[in-house]
Amino acid sequence: MLAIRKLVKIYPGPVTALQGIDLDIPDGMFGLLGPNGAGKSTLMKILAGLLEPTAGTVLWDGEDMLRRPERIWARLGYLPQDFGFYPHLSGEAMLEYLLRLKGIVSPRGPRRLAQELLERVNLDFAAKRKVKTYSGGMRQRLGIAQAIAGNPSLLIVDEPTAGLDPEERHRFYRILTELAQDRTVVLSTHIVEDVAVLCPRFAVIHAGQLVASTTPTEARAALRGSIYEGSVTDAELPGLRERQQVTQSILVEGKRRVRIRTAGNHVPPGFEPSAPTLEDVYMVLVKTARDRDGAGREVPVLAAPREAGR
């Protein structure tokens, strides 16, 4: 288990990227959800030993990861948000090169190990193709192949599905699910679907602060009975936002469908009860955090919805 305590990171400026994060990450798949700029990548880099925090500790199975990061590198795999490849190399040659850089050896040699890793992430068919011909999803699978080299017990992946089409995203989901069976996988993302599909537990971070640490089931249960859905015109939407807490606003078959969180005695005409989704939970959590920051005071996470007109 990863135990993060009072983790702070302040960049020159000063810019406070992390404001005292306290978080326990169990074995298996764990999601770190938050908007862009929330501090997720900073936290991932600290966990990977690539960035020193300003204060705080990170213990992995009781061992201090920050004091002696070199002691855990051999047991850690990392896929950053932007992973650079040499486009003129083949996938096999690129992976073999990365294995040599990481000092990972195999009795069968680096080439055979590279081939085995490519098979594991379903890229063996493109082993001889140049990386510049790979799709975004293929590049991400190549990144995962280098991250799992050496069979690490801790795998950190930062925004792995951003920009992937639905087919590639679900292929990536299957790979991550398999990997999480026998190791800790920390998945950082701003895509709610990633967490809904993959993670039995997740945390939400906003503006460098921990907003919640929970399970999808518990989080949806906290909103049960308070989510309603209806249709409005684009002209009506601004007024509705002033009176209600809007969690989602999307076009469905050309009509504006809006989901709101409200008390039962303040439901607008035409709105019907709806089962909460993780998207609703995420939007409520982030808005609650913004209200707290704007008011300069604590606002309870998943607090009771405000009454209309207040």
Q: What is the pLDDT of residues 12-37, one digit of tens each?
A: 989 999 999 999 999 999 999 998 88
Smallest CA-to-CA distance from 194 within 271, 253, 261, 282 is with: 282
Pairing of strands 255-261, 245-252: antiparallel
Which pLDDT value is given to residue 68?
Answer: 77
Final residue in a domain of this structure, among 172, 189, 214: 214
Domain assignment present for residue 18? The answer is yes
Residues 236 and 199 in one domain: no
Q: What share of the chain is helix, strand, coil (3-state, %, to 5)?
A: 35, 30, 35
- Coil, strand, or helix at residue 200? coil
Residue that terminates a domain, selected from 185, 214, 243:
214
Say yes or no: 258 and 170 in one domain.
Answer: no
Residues 164 and 290 in one domain: no
Would you say 19 and 208 are in contact if contact means Cβ atoms under 8 Å apart?
yes
pTM score, two decimals? 0.87
State how many domains the chain has.
2
Q: What is the pLDDT along the chain (310 residues), one digit of tens a residue?
A: 899 999 999 999 899 999 999 999 999 999 999 988 899 999 999 998 889 999 999 998 888 888 877 777 788 999 998 888 999 999 999 999 999 888 888 888 889 999 999 999 989 999 999 999 999 889 999 999 999 998 999 999 998 888 888 888 888 899 999 999 999 999 999 999 999 999 999 999 999 999 999 999 999 999 999 999 999 998 999 999 999 999 999 888 888 999 999 877 789 999 999 999 999 999 999 888 887 765 544 444 554 444 444 4
- Give me 187's structure tokens: 């998945």
Of the residues 214, 234, 253, the one at which a domain ends: 214
Query: What confidence score (pLDDT) does residue 107 get?
Result: 83
Query: In sequence order, which residues have a C-beta less than 8 Å from that of residue 83 and are 6 or more positions away?
Result: 139, 143
pLDDT at 125: 95
Angle formed at CA 145 by CA 187 and CA 78, multiple of 5 degrees: 40
Residues 273 and 202 reside in one and the same domain = no
Q: How far apart are CA 158 and CA 48, in angstroms?
A: 11
Range of the domain at 51: 2-87+145-214
Whether 83 and 225 map to the same domain: the answer is: no
User: Are 214 and 262 in contact, with CB atoms under 8 Å apart?
Assistant: no
Same-domain pairing of 201 and 226: no
